[in-house]
Structure 1
Amino acid sequence: MAASRLCQRTLSAFKPSNRLWAPVSLRCTPSQVTQQHAPRVPSCFSLTTQNLDAFSSRPVARAKLLLNGILEESKRPDIIFLQEVTSDVRTSILGNPKVREAFLVTDAEDKTSFEGVPFANMTLLSSKRFALDLELLESQKEEGEVERGDNFVLGPVSRVKLPSKYGRCALSVDIIPPSTPTTAYRLINVHLDSLGDTFPYRTEQMEILADLLREPGCSGGLIAGDFNAISPEDHALLDKNGLVDAWVVLHGGEGLDGATWGVGVERDDGLTAGRLDKVAVLGVEAKEMEVLRPRLIEVPKPGKDSDYIPCSDHYGLRLSFSV
């Protein structure tokens, strides 16, 4: 990645002994991972991506309800991408007992990513699927190798500054399969620029993101989150950049079955329901995908009956894929 655009971040794990989040010092590259000699079948992972809607009433309560819904599913995802995370919502996420117990989290080390912007994105990775034994890791670092059975090894975590009207960044995490240690797959959490006048920014952003999946040592991966795809030209950007739209390949591109924003809402600006949220893949196989309808939350009104609003103005997406 271009150094001028790159801000190195880390993943953190919650330590019950001192009740603090501690950065996990993983600076692995594909060449440092020892190959496993047994043949490997493709590994399957599940991803949920959700825009939390930073600006509606009760943002912390809504985010908590959305996240608990994701975590309470019988098939808890291995990877969670969140967009429009405010500083207060970040604090709530880091205090969630289920998150503390089962996930590694980006941006727990400090609030740098939340300075000067109304919100940022965060990524959560299952500690069961991606964690390394830190003591084992340290002992093997001295020998110049890292080994961890079937678990994917975690590589660099980065924020990539994008050309943007709104200060948007892409949040990238590399994962390295033990069966093919000379390469990595990249998981990129995005929130592209909003509204119609920023289409030129989104065009450039997609070119940069597609290039990140083709860098030397990277065999592809996925880009997921809020693409703000509000026009036919937006929907053409994936094909233009050689990326596969997971929803289209699994469900086709006709109709609004995959709409994630503006569903059942009449707007004064003329925008209608659309598939603003997407998952784009390269070098991995999309298996199953569905739209997640947000729960409702009560918004009390003094002297009146309470309103009930969706926890987000975006529907979420759940994807299973194989590497």
Structure 2
Amino acid sequence: MSSTTQSLNSAIILPETRSGAPLEGWPASPKKLYTFDPSKSTWINRTPVTHAPTYPVPIMSLAVATWNVDFMAAYEKSRLKSALDLLQALVTPLLVPCIVLIQEMHDNCFNTLLGHSFVREWYDVTDVSSYSWENFTSNYGTVTLVPRVLAENVVSVFRTKFRGSKMGREALFVDLAVPTEARAANLTDPTGSKQEAQNEALKILRIANVHLESLRGSSDAARVRQLASVASFLSASKIHAGLVGGDMNPIAPSDPGLPTRLGLLDAWVECHAPPTNVSPEERKEKRQAVEDDGFISRGGEAYDDPAGHTWGYQPTNRFPPRRMDKVLFVGGLKAEKIEKIGVGLKVVPETGDDEEEEEEEEEAQEMERSPVWVSDHYGLLARFQVQPT
């Protein structure tokens, strides 16, 4: 057995440590991947999870959707269903597989998620209850939906705690095998030394799902440590490309430019930043106060792009709108397109979606239901080319 196959079979690929010092987010906790079994009408564990795939699908391009679906607002089940309905409408026409990263998934919404026909037919999921979250006592967390067409590419699923997080935050990782061109050309022969040589050529595409520490104060330094931890996992050896999406909460002076300092590219910047050959006057017009959010453009200039704001409008509040949600990447990926989703999206809640409402059902039935925001965050939908390994 080759060393690569052994590593894939026996352990999660971890960042290198300096002098054995523990990493932020250490240790990595292996998790399962679940698939829907229509014959049993239930979700079952897809095994094995950590393995060297025999028939990994060539991944030339892929899409990634990320969305904080707001666990705090009422009618969380109706709101999640509406979000999934929109994702279905957006993802179904795509000609590439789309990985979905969900943050602030309420722990009482798993039946809504797992019962949605789109999820059952198209996806495997990393979680079927909150018990698989590292902070399983929390009533919200992260879930990643892996396209079923990529199920044979899944090498590992794992979570890492963010040490010292006062909010129980963690990172959720999914590793996908990316065959080299040589391997992709020989997928039909899984026997003998040829298969052994092909295993040697496997590279990993690592996808992370995060909700970084909220608020100010000690959370400012925590976010720096948390994103640095994720960046180290995305840049580990044998990782061909790494991507992290989610709610980054960039609300402190230390947050602008942090991805760049950690060696991460920003998909919104790559796709929407102004060209570097514009005049200083034109560039100045593009600039906003770095304190509002800020990011580093391809020309090294820090500015804020209101078109990229994903929070602060649904509803408006005393805090300024910000580009809270981001898709960052490193290595063999090229951002082709990124857009906001769920802008202005509202839903009329279903009866019985809120416990307090159930207690006042008769009164609620007499009142006309008003639409509510699906989330206080917009989502993002990004598309990438996977560079040859």
TM-score range for the pair, normalised by the shorter chain length:
0.7 to 0.9
Distance 1:35 1:61 in 2: 38
Letter in 2 for 1:316: G
Name 1:296's counterpart in structure 2.
346
1:191-228, CA deviations, whole angstroms, 9 ceiling, x for partnerless residues? 00101221110010011000001112212310001111
Name 1:280's counterpart in structure 2.
328
Name 1:52's counterpart in structure 2.
69
Distance 1:264 1:92 in 2: 23
Name 2:156's counterpart in structure 1.
156
1:115-194 correspondence to structure 2 within 5 Å: 115-128=136-149, 130-132=150-152, 153-163=153-163, 164-179=165-180, 181-194=201-214
Percent of aligned pairs with the same residue?
29
Cα offset for 1:78? 1.6
1:228-243 correspondence to structure 2 within 5 Å: 228-243=249-264
Task: Classify the secondary structure of the residue corresponding to 1:234.
Answer: coil
Q: Once structures 1 and 2 are overlaid, which stretch shifts more, 1-10 or 288-297? A: 1-10
Letter in 2 for 1:183: K
TM-score, length of structure 1 as denominator length: 0.84
Residues 285 and 96 of structure 1: CA distance in aligned 2, closer, same or farther (over 3 Å):
same
Q: Which runs of 5+ in 1 are unaligned?
A: 133-152
How many correspondences in the alignment? 294
Name the structure where strand makes up a greater proportion of residues: 1
Q: Once structures 1 and 2 are overlaid, which stretch shifts more, 258-267 or 55-64? A: 258-267
Distance 1:112 1:87 in 2: 11
Name 2:384's counterpart in structure 1.
321
Cα offset for 1:35? 9.5
Task: Classify the secondary structure of the residue corresponding to 1:250.
Answer: helix
Distance 2:307 2:329 in 1: 20
1:263 alignment partner, one of 290, 300, 313: 313
Task: Classify the secondary structure of the residue corresponding to 1:100.
Answer: helix
Letter in 2 for 1:86: H
2:125 alignment partner, one of 105, 117, 122: 105
Residues 45 and 294 of structure 1: CA distance in aligned 2, closer, same or farther (over 3 Å):
farther
**Alignment of 1:67 onto 2:84:** yes
Letter in 2 for 1:68: D
Name 1:137's counterpart in structure 2.
none
Residues 99 and 290 of structure 1: CA distance in aligned 2, closer, same or farther (over 3 Å):
same
Q: Is the 8 A contact 1:52 1:85 kept in 2?
A: yes
Residues 17 and 110 of structure 1: CA distance in aligned 2, closer, same or farther (over 3 Å):
farther
Q: Once structures 1 and 2 are overlaid, which stretch shifts more, 275-284 or 173-182? A: 173-182
1:79 alignment partner, one of 71, 86, 99: 99
Q: Is the 8 A contact 1:35 1:178 kept in 2?
A: no
1:189-208 correspondence to structure 2 within 5 Å: 189-197=209-217, 198-208=219-229
Letter in 2 for 1:231: A
Larger Rg: 2
Q: Is the 8 A contact 1:259 1:275 kept in 2?
A: yes
Q: Which runs of 5+ in 2 are unaligned?
A: 1-13, 15-22, 182-200, 274-302, 350-356, 358-362
**Alignment of 1:16 onto 2:38:** yes
Distance 2:205 2:148 in 1: 17
Cα RMSD (Å): 2.4
